[in-house]
Amino acid sequence: MYKVEEPEMFYARKNNFPLKDETYKIIGLAMEVHKTLGKGFLEIVYKDALELEFQWAKVPYTREKSFEIEYKGIILKRFYNADFVVYEKIIVEIKSQTEIIDENYKQTINYLAVSNLTVGLILNLGEDSLTFKRVILT
């Protein structure tokens, strides 16, 4: 089971969220990327820029972190690559599309399940302003 927090809910109730300070920092850095680059670039460009922001802010991260997938006790040949794992606790998925869609949630939920982490952020830089969704695996 999971829940998704809308951006406006995030600001109104951010004190009730796990890893609130960390996610707030990540969202702020993504806002800086969007403010500087605007919309219209491929995801890879936004990932490169966000990686620089993480470095400059001294935010610990791993880019393109691979997660093994276990099926009935056997590790499959294929694996998931999360865009970023930040603070070793938060899955961050970067999108550059017209809106965040259901498949983005499903992907993030799968990453959370295989990583044993509980908080994910979907950051979409493809709209007029940064949009984000926070996914919490419960």
Per-residue pLDDT for the chain (138 aa), expressed as one digit of tens each?
Answer: 444 455 444 444 445 778 899 999 999 999 999 999 999 999 999 999 999 999 999 999 999 999 999 999 999 999 889 999 999 999 999 999 999 999 999 989 989 999 999 999 999 999 999 999 999 987
Residue 117: partners with Cβ closer than 8 Å, 6 or more residues away: 85, 89, 90, 91, 111, 137
| Per-residue confidence (pLDDT) for residue 15, from 0 to 100 | 54
Residue 120 phi, psi (nearest 5): -130, 150
Q: Tell which residue, 1, 16, 18, 5, has the closest CA to residue 131.
A: 5
Whole-model pTM? Answer: 0.85
Distance between CA 44 and CA 104 in Å, rounded? 16
Q: State which fold the 2-11+18-137 domain adopts.
A: Trna Endonuclease; Chain: A, domain 1 (3.40.1350)
